[in-house]
Amino acid sequence: MHRELSRFGAAALLLAAALSCGAAELNLIPWPSQITQQEGLLALDNSPRIELIGGDERVHHALDRFMRNLTAHTGFPFDRHFPGTPDGPSFVIQCAGPGLRVQAVEEDESYHLVINSKGIELTAANPLGAMHGLETVLQLVKSGPQGWVLPYVRIDDTPRFAWRGLMIDVSRHFMPLDAIERNVDGMAAVKLNILHLHLSDDEGFRVESKRCPRLTRVASDGLFYTQDQIHELIAYARNRGVRVVPEFDVPGHAVSWLVAYPQIASGPAPQGLVRSQRDNLRPPLDPTQDATYKLLDKVFGEMEKLFPDRYFHIGGDEVDGKYWDKGAHIQTWMHEHNIQDNHALQTYFTKRVQAIVQKHGKQMEGWDEILAGDLPKDSLIQSWRGANSLADAAKLGYKTVLSAGYYLDLQYPASQHYAVDPLSGESASLSAEEKSRILGGEAAQWTEYVTPEILDNRIWPRLGAIAERLWSPASVTDVDSMYRRLAVLSRNLEWLDLEQRTSSVRMMDRIENDDMPPKLLETLAMAVEPVKEYEREKTQVYDVEAPLNHMVDAVPPESDQARQINALAQRAIHDPSVRPELRTLLIQWRDNDAQIEPYLATSALRQPLVPLSQGLSELGTLGLSALDAVESGHPVTQDQHKEQLADIEKSVAPHAELLLVVAPAIRTLVAAEPVDP
């Protein structure tokens, strides 16, 4: 197949004069495996000539999307211009062959890209590589003195891991299709290829079942994807090089099943879906009844047809064994079948479920609790409780994927996820064959505290750092460079309709409520981050209806400003030239509280912020006094120094589920001040 793409109505890219090349680092994320930058810039003008050779319909779609995204990114109507001149520069996309009908892990995703005065040449073995290459071209576009340009480059790029995923929990908080689809666009932008949907849990069963309509009628709360929507999503994702792996969590996390089918509960059946952390009647499915497997066969058979992916995730995590311990008939059954303990009982269950999954033509995936040496070897283990289970699974002969260290819902900084490598730690000492079973990794976004409004803000841009870890060579580890490129990514994703920045602004506007002066709340917001790990559930009880509209929900998990200020304080110790900038910030923190204080009391959303604002003011005061001592060289007494350190620690206690994350800047200054011997 070789044809001119007039159907794109347009546009091709005219590649005109070579402009001088800036030396700035390119904004690519994930960073390519091999890249050579050459002197020169290709001007993208209004007369393109695009040729597409080979591939399948996905490449056409990707090119169409490329034009739309380029137009959105530049504001230049690249998508409405006419084909260029035959002898002008060209944009040639050459794809050696079509891909598999159902995208799979063994496909070659590599691509080769050359940009020079002759134009753009993108070659790939497969439509997936062509799609990745187009995303790279888009990331290379920048504005120059004469318009939009591409730098001259040669890129040979191939992913380090074949499995690069994102899991989204759509059970705790249901996510409408458009929220999922815009995140698929974001995934494609950073070359991720697996969307794992956690489709059922105690809070709801989120896919229409025609065979077992009770699952839809009584177990979904009215919030579910129709089968037509699932077809749409799968097609949408496929066009972006993304597979959709469904998860139906059994035998634990299965209250939704039991609300529809109480007879298969291991104990007293719950009366309704879980709506609160206090609803603690959460029995697993009864593994001793044939009725359980009959129902699973019926539903999984339907769902395995609906989702074409080779893998089918059956959950298997966090099974609460106390219901099995207490069930007299379960204990008798275990005794009769010589099953020694609950793990063995779960393994019995998993094997029967695996047979069901396999009967419908799929391979089983599960969380690491299912790991047992005698499962069929084509089972895939998703490691979440710690990276050890990754190595254990690989040693036992199973393919495996790392999620421990990639839990976005724990609100850790991007740098922390970036440092997690599937082949480090225990896995580093595996044999080459064992290592080859480690397919990659998957970020996880659980949604106990995430509504559709908050979703993007929790995922992006940090997911970009994980995407780079899973795609780029292991040697790509420069954290400053990662953060610089991540900031550009975050801005660019908004052109794909992702909302991580705008939704945060909107949510802060809601708290500001038009009845206080601007900037005061912003000063506080920049200095805080949500509490980490599972702290939120320890602080207060959240029901599913609890509003998630507080500052903890509005601010990003990681404050870029706080990170920059903490670095600025370190520089200020040795570099007097940056001290005025730091001093200005410290004064702003010190004085913000007196200005904001009258407005905090007048809104329920702001009242909880009072102690945080006071803490920030204290940190400002402490920082100014330490900066004075550093600058003047006048020592403080031992007692003053100790008191300052203690005051910092007092100010960092969490309030309103937020942490003052600029405290390290003040610790740095206090640690550097001269102290009387």
Q: Which residues are designated catalytic? A: 318
Q: How far is the CB of 231 from ligand ACM (least distance, A)?
A: 27
Site string for ligand ACM, 333-372 (x = CB under 6 A): ----------------------------------x-----
Q: Does 460 bind ligand ACM (CB under 6 A)?
A: no
Q: Does 317 bind ligand ACM (CB under 6 A)?
A: yes
Q: What is the DSSP string of 495-508?
A: GGT--HHHHHHHHH
The type of residue at 492 is N
- Cis omega (within 30 of 0) on the bond before 517? no
Closest by CA to 97, choosing from 139, 125, 78, 128, is 125
Residues making up the chain, counted from first to last? 677
Pairing verdict, β 2-4 and 50-54: antiparallel
Q: How far is the CB of 676 from ligand ACM (least distance, A)?
A: 52
Closest by CA to 664, choosing from 648, 676, 675, 653, is 648
Q: How far is the CB of 443 from ligand ACM (least distance, A)?
A: 12
Q: How far is the CB of 280 from ligand ACM (least distance, A)?
A: 16
Beta-bridge partner residues of 93: 52, 122
Q: Does 448 bind ligand ACM (CB under 6 A)?
A: no
- Give dist(CA 381, CA 318) in Å, integer: 15
> Of 384, 398, 418, 471, which lies in the binding site for ligand ACM, with binding defined by CB under 6 A?
384
Where do the DSSP E strands lie in 572-613?
none
Closest by CA to 379, choosing from 365, 392, 360, is 365
- Residue 447 or 504: which CB sits closer to ligand ACM? 447
Q: How far is the CB of 368 from ligand ACM (least distance, A)?
A: 8
Q: How far is the CB of 410 from ligand ACM (least distance, A)?
A: 10
- Residue 317 or 591: which CB sits closer to ligand ACM? 317
Q: What is the DSSP string of 415-456?
A: HHHHT--TTSGGGGGS-HHHHHTEEEEEEEE--TT--HHHHH
Residue at token pair 């330490």: 626
Retrieve residue 80's tokens. Answer: 């409405």
CA angle 351, 299, 333 (to 5 degrees): 40
- Residue 111 or 367: which CB sits closer to ligand ACM? 367
> Of 56, 156, 318, 628, which lies in the binding site for ligand ACM, with binding defined by CB under 6 A?
318
Retrieve residue 550's tokens. Answer: 């507080």
- Residue 148 or 384: which CB sits closer to ligand ACM? 384
Retrieve residue 467's tokens. Answer: 């995407």
**Inter-residue contact 462 to 423 (CB < 8 Å):** no
CA 360 to chain centre: 31
- Residue 386 or 635: which CB sits closer to ligand ACM? 386
- Give dist(CA 388, CA 403) in Å, integer: 11
- Residue 90 or 445: which CB sits closer to ligand ACM? 445
- Residue 111 or 446: which CB sits closer to ligand ACM? 446
Pairing verdict, β 34-44 and 15-19: antiparallel
Q: How far is the CB of 253 from ligand ACM (least distance, A)?
A: 7
- Cis omega (within 30 of 0) on the bond before 270? no
DSSP 309: S
- Give dist(CA 639, CA 131) in Å, integer: 63
Q: How many residues bind ligand ACM (CB under 6 A)?
A: 4
Closest by CA to 384, choosing from 185, 183, 196, is 196
Residue 250's Cβ-side half-sphere holds a number of Cα atoms within 13 Å equal to 32
- Residue 28 or 167: which CB sits closer to ligand ACM? 167
Beta-bridge partner residues of 119: 90, 116
Residue number of the CB closest to ligand ACM reads 317
Q: How far is the CB of 304 from ligand ACM (least distance, A)?
A: 21
Could you give the 3-state DSSP secondary structure of residue 169? strand
- Residue 65 or 399: which CB sits closer to ligand ACM? 399
- Residue 129 or 315: which CB sits closer to ligand ACM? 315
Pairing verdict, β 163-169 and 438-445: parallel
Interface residues with ligand ACM (CB under 6 A) are 317-318, 367, 384
